[in-house]
Chains A and B, each alone.
Chain A
Amino acid sequence: MTRELLYGWGLTAPGNCEVHVVHDEAHVIDEMNKATRTIARGLGRSYGDPAQVSGGVVLNNRGLCDIGRISETGVVTVGAGASIDELLQLSTPLGWFVPVTPGTRQVTIGGAIAADVHGKNHHVDGSFANHVLSMRLVTPTGAHTISPSKNPELFWGTVGAMGLTGVITEATIQMTPIATDSVLVDTDRYSNLEAVMTAMLEGDDNYRYSVAWVDCMTKGKNMGRAILTRGDHATVDQVEKPTLIGPQPPKLSVPFMPPSGLLNRASVRLFNEAWFRYAPQHREKEVQSLSTFFHPLDGVSNWNRMYGKRGFLQYQFAVSDAHSDTVVDVIKRLSESGVASFLAVLKRFGDGNASPLSFPIPGWTLALDLPIGSPRLPGVLDELDEMVVAAGGRLYFAKDSRLSPEKAQVMYPRLAEFRKLKDRIDPEHKLTSDLARRLRLVGE
C-alpha cells in the first residue's frame, strides 16, 4: 500500500489516495471489504478524475494481467488489468485484432469496459462492450459472472459506468480476425467543415474505419478544414510482403515537463497549418501499419507532459444527426473565441448499446484537446455545454474534467435507472470517485 497523488491524463485536479495493486478476485474482495470509499484504476488514461477517490482507496487493476489462450474463433479471456497493447502483442501474430481500440493502446481491458470506449469503427462495430461476451465483476454485495444474457441489467449497468458498480476482474472478448498487420488507407483533404461532413455522411459506410482531423482555429470560408482518413484491414494479396507483427514500444518520449504556455495560440496554429499542408489532397490505398493508423500518439510516451504543469483537458461531445448544426456551431464558437485547440477529431457514431451510461449515440462526435491557462476557456466551455444540452447531446465521462452536475443529469437521462441498480448492488455507495462526487452521479 502506498499513498499517492493521482491525476488523470490531463494532469489536473489531483487527489491523494491509498493505492493497492490487486492480484486476484479474493484480494479485490478483501480490499473492498476493508475500504469505506474505493474505485478501480487502470493505466490512468481518462482525462479527468474518474479513476481516483481523494482520501479513499484506489484498487490498481494492473495485477490482474493474465491473458488466456485465444480460441480458434477468436474468443479470449483476459485479466481486467491487461492492456490492449499487451493483448495485441500476443494476438497480432496469431491473426487477431482487438474488436475496438481507442486512440491509444495504453488502456486496460477493465478501463475499456468501464468507459465503454469507441474507435474509428464505431459506425460499423459499435463500442467495446458490444464485443464483450461476459465478465467477472466484484461488487460490495458479491462477485458475479455477467453477460448480455446472464444478469443483463448488471452487465449493461457496468458498461460505461466508470467503475461505479464494482471492480471488473476479467472479461471474455470476441476478437476480430486480420490477415495482415497493415491497413489500406484513403486520405482526403477538405477545405471546410461542410465538405468533410458531407463526405463522411455519404462515404463512411464503405469503410470499416473512419476519422477526420478538423482544424478548429481557422475562421471564415476555411473554417473547419479537415483531413479525412478511412481504411480497412489489408488482405494478404493487397500488400507486397504481408506480415503479422505486434505493436512496438515507443521510440520517443517527453522526458520532462516544459513550461506551461509552450502550446499557445501561435504555436498550435502553426502546427495545425503544417499538419494540414502535409496531408495529400487525395491518396488511395496507402499501406499503413496498425500502430500508425490506430495509435499515432503512442509513438511518444508521456506526450501529455507537452502541456506543462497546468495540464490540459479534452472536450468531447456527441449529438444526433438531427443536430449536426451543433458541430458547426461549436467549431465556429471555438474558432471565434481564439482558444488554442489542436486538431480536433470528428467521427460518425453508429447505434448505441443498451447501457444507461454509455456515451455513444448515433450521429456525430467531436473531441478536442485544450490547454489549461486561457482565462476565457472555462466560460467558453460552459457555453458549449449549453449548446450540446440544447441539441440533446452529451459529454463523455472518460474525457470530462469540468462539467457541472446539473448538466450531467440532463445529458444522461437514464441516470435515475442507473442509481436504482447502484442502490441495490452497492447500498453504502462504497464505490465512488472524484468524478462521481463532482458530477453527483451517486450520493455520498
Chain B
Amino acid sequence: MENAFGQPQNVVVFGGSSDIARAITRKLCAARTSKVILAGRNQKALDAAGDEAKDYGATTVSTVLFDAEEPQNAAAAVDAAFAAAGEPVDLVIIAVGLLGKQTEDEDDPEATLRMATVNYTWPVTALAQLRKLMVAQGHGRILLISSVASVRVRRTMYNYGAAKAGLDRFAIGYSQGLEGTGVKIQILRPGYVRTKMIAGLKEAPFTTGPNEVANYVMRGIANDSTVIWSPPILRYVFFVLRHLPTSLWRLVMDRQ
C-alpha cells in the first residue's frame, strides 16, 4: 500500500531498463518499495536493472518480457505484470518510448508506423487494461512518461512529438475519468535527459540527468500533481514557446 507520502511498496515498471525508469526505481527502493516488477524487451537489461533495485533495498524483483511494437499483446503484458506482483499494485510506471531519427524515418512508412505504435498505440492500449485492473483494486498510481516534445510538435522530431502529444492528451482525459476511483495518473514531461535515448544529440538548454528527473518525480508524487515538469522551469519556458508565432518557434527550435 501507498503511505501518506505517496511512497509505494510495490511497483510495476514498463520499460524497466530505461535510464529514467532505473533512476526512479532506485529512489523508490531507497524509500519504501520492496517489490519491483520490471517489464521490457531485453531480459539481460532487465536483470541488470533488477540487481540495481535490490542494491537499493528491493527484496523481491521479477521480470516480464513484452514488445511495445505489439500493441495487441499490451493487455496480456499488463496482466502478466500484475500476476507477478501477486497483490494490489501501488505504482505503475510507463517508460516506453522510441525517439527515432526523423530525417531517416519520414520517407519510411514502416518506421513511421513503429514510432506511432511504440509511442502511442502500445501505451494507450496498456492504459485501458490498467484502468480496468486498478479501478477494481480501488487505489494506485500511474506515472506516464510523456515529454515536453508533446507540448508543440517540432519539424526535427514530429513523429516522436506527435505521438507523445496524442499520448499526453489521452492521459489528460484519462486522469479526469479516474476522479473518485482512488486511482491517479501523473504525467511526467521531461525536457532533454542525458540518456541512451538521446546519445549523440546536441545538449539543449535545461538538459538534466536521470537522477534529477527522479527527484522531481518524487516531489511530484508527494504533491499529487497531474503534470510533473522536469525541470519545473520548463512549464514556464514552454508556456512561452507554445504561444510563439510559427516563424519564431521554428527559428528557435529547428536549430536544436
Contact = CB atoms under 8 A, between A and B. Distances in A.
Interface of A: 5, 10, 12-17, 48-49, 54-56, 309-311, 313, 372-373, 375, 377-378, 401-405, 434-435, 437-438, 444
B1 A49 contact: yes
Given A13-B6, A402-B3, 15 more contacts: A12-B4, A14-B139, A49-B1, A54-B138, A55-B88, A310-B223, A311-B4, A372-B222, A375-B218, A378-B222, A401-B3, A401-B4, A434-B139, A437-B87, A437-B88
Contacts of A405: 9
A402 B31 CA distance: 11
**Most chain A CB within a 10 A radius of its CB, from B87, B88, B219:** B88
Interface string B24-36: 0000000110000
B1 A5 contact: no
Interface residues of B, number: 26
Given A310-B224, A444-B87, A54 B137 contact: yes
B182 A5 contact: yes
B136 interface: yes
Nearest to A374: B222
Minimum-distance CB pairs A-B, first 6:
A16-B182, A54-B138, A55-B138, A438-B1, A401-B4, A16-B138
A437 B9 CA distance: 10
A418 B87 CA distance: 23
**Most chain A CB within a 10 A radius of its CB, from B3, B4, B7, B9:** B4
Interface in B1-32: 1-7, 9, 31-32
**Most chain B CB within a 10 A radius of its CB, from A16, A48, A56, A438:** A16
B135 interface: yes
Contacts of B2: 13, 438
Interface in B108-152: 135-139
15 contacts: A16-B180, A16-B182, A16-B183, A17-B138, A56-B138, A372-B5, A372-B222, A377-B5, A378-B5, A378-B7, A401-B4, A402-B3, A402-B7, A434-B139, A438-B2
A375 B32 contact: no
Contacts of A378: 5, 7, 31, 222
Contacts of A12: 3-5
Q: A-side binding surface: helix, strand, loop or mixed?
A: loop
Nearest to B182: A16
A242 to B, nearest CB: 45
B181 interface: yes
Contact of A55 (B4, B136, B180, B222): B136
A54 B139 contact: yes
B230 to A, nearest CB: 15
A373 B6 CA distance: 11
B56 to A, nearest CB: 15
B90 to A, nearest CB: 9
Interface in B176-223: 180-183, 218-219, 222-223
Contacts of A14: 139, 182
Contacts of B180: 5, 16
A16 B181 CA distance: 6
Contacts of B224: 309-310
Contacts of A373: 222-223
Contacts of B181: 5, 16
A311 B32 CA distance: 20
